[in-house]
Each structure stands twice: as C-alpha cells, then as structure tokens.
Amino acid sequence: MRLRSATLPPLLTALFWTSASTLTWPAPAQGIPPEDSLAALLRREAITYENGEGVPRDPILAATLYCKSARLGDPQAQYNLGWMYANGRGVERNDLAAAYFFQAAADQGLEGAQRMLKVVGVPQRSEVPECLREPTPPAPVPTPAAPPVEVAVAQSAVDYRGIAPRHVFDLVMKMAPLYKVEPQLALAIIAAESNFNSRAISPKNAQGLMQLMPETSERFHVKNPFDPVQNIRGGLSYLRWLLAYFGGDVALVAAAYNAGEGKVERYRGIPPYIETRAYVQRILKSVGATHHPFDANVTQASALAWTRMPWRVQ
C-alpha cells in the first residue's frame, strides 16, 4: 500500500506533517524507558538532530539514532522513526517499514501509533526492517573436537532454594525433569511471572504461578490454574513446546512466554518491547545459559530457530 498524503483527511494530514518529536502521546501501557536509560538517551539525541536543536540538522543521523533506540524497545523512538519512513524524512519513504515501527509502538500501548496503523495498514511479517532484526550468529566450523550439540544449563547466579516457597520448589524439582525442562528455567519463569504467588492474576487475566492465559490453560488441559500442581504442569508443558519450537534458544523461549510466539515470529527474534527485553535479560541471568536441551519430537521447529542456529541438528 502506497500512502498519498493528499488523500488523507485534514486531521491525519496535519499529523503527518507535524514533527513527530513535538507530539505528546499518552504513556504506553508497558511503560517508557527511564530517562537515564540508553534507549531514552539515544531518542533524545535523535530528536536534537531531527530538529536541529543546538546542532546542525541531520535527519539521516536522527534516523540512525532512532533506530538504535527503537531496537532497545523505546516506543516513542519507534513512533518517530515510523513517521520518518511514512514521510520520507531522512530515509527513503517506505510504508511497510513505517507500519512495522508503528506496530511495535502500538503493541506497547502508544495510542498515536495505533491511529497511524489505520493509515499505513498492518505490516507484513516478511518485511522486518533491518535494525529490528536479531543478529544471526555465524555457524561455527565443524571440527572433530566440537562440543556436543546440546549445551547443558550452566550454574546460575540465582539460588531459588532460599527464595521459592518450599512446596513450590519441591514441586518444580520433581515435575520439571518429567517434561525435560531444567528446574532452574521453570523457577526463573515462576519468579518473573508471579513471584511464587499461586493466586496471582494479571491485568490480562494470566493466572497462577506460571501466569497461564486461559487459552494456554485450555491448550494444555489445565482445569484449575490456581492449583499449583496443575499450573506448573501446564507451564512446563508450554515450556517444553516452546523449547522444541525455538530449538532450545532460551532468549526466544523467554520472549515467547512473555509476548507470545507470534510476536517472536513477526520480529524474527526478541520483540522490541521494553518489558519483553527486560524479561528476557532477567531469565537469561537466572538460567545462566543461552541454550537448553529440547525434545525435537514435541513439535516441528520454527524456521526462525533454524535460521538462528543452523548448526543445531537433532
């Protein structure tokens, strides 16, 4: 879809031709980055170069800085960059790229981006802007002394024996191996999701220890998500499926558990959301490894898993 501003209603035309950095939008649902964060610093620097505030105006540099901030999950930077692509300001006009950046910001609750999606349309999955793509690690050169394909989870810096309630810890230690899930990963997910509160309910109606959405409970035959045994069983079943689907990539598994596997597929990696990126870092730190053994018989692996890890053969 090629957008022509001449065909837009007057209000939308005004939105397009007003500098995005001068607009004030409601705070996104998942929060904005702290003002001293790298994402916020990059965004503010981009604004100065976009508008020439105390520096020579440089829209190309502004777009580059916005892109770095957008990849870190800053919804305001994502919106501003979407606006630049929609109007061809400092970058070549690209409605598909604009839609992707607007979608990323809209997913985090930015109302202005949600409105702009109605103008530029919903992005296509195959058109992910370069700066939102996760870098693909180079495949190592196979050698006779190459390490095993599956890498065991390393010792974590977090010891949940002194954090988790004893009955929850014991349940996870007993049940996780039955689902071929490392207990440390399951405990990290529980800690991040509910802080070990079996009665927890999120604003989106995720329930119980592992914060199962109603559709996830139904998918894995959980009748009572507030029962610790059933909830952990459902969460472990989902983790086992995610591990198989994403080829044991802990970062993708964590991102999918937080944002959904569809969002991970759309962005070909960790979605550019502040909350999801912080969540992934927390899980990686708790688990202590980037790869986890998985059962390839559970489900067919995502094409994304093989793109990111072409050397992993099951």
CA distance 303 to 258: 20
- Note the pLDDT of residue 192: 97
- Report the chain (314 residues): mean pLDDT per 10 consecutive residues: 36 40 41 79 93 91 92 93 91 89 92 89 71 61 42 60 95 97 97 97 95 97 97 98 96 96 90 94 94 94 72 40
Domains and CATH numbers, the chain: 5-129 (1.25.40.10), 160-308 (1.10.530.10)
CA distances from 211 to 100, 189, 202, 219, 245 (A): 28, 9, 8, 14, 20
Q: Is the dihedral of CA 115, 119, 120, 122 positive or negative?
A: positive
Active site residues: 193
- Note the pLDDT of residue 166: 96
CB distance 190 to 196 below 8 Å? yes
CA distance 255 to 78: 19
- Note the pLDDT of residue 157: 62
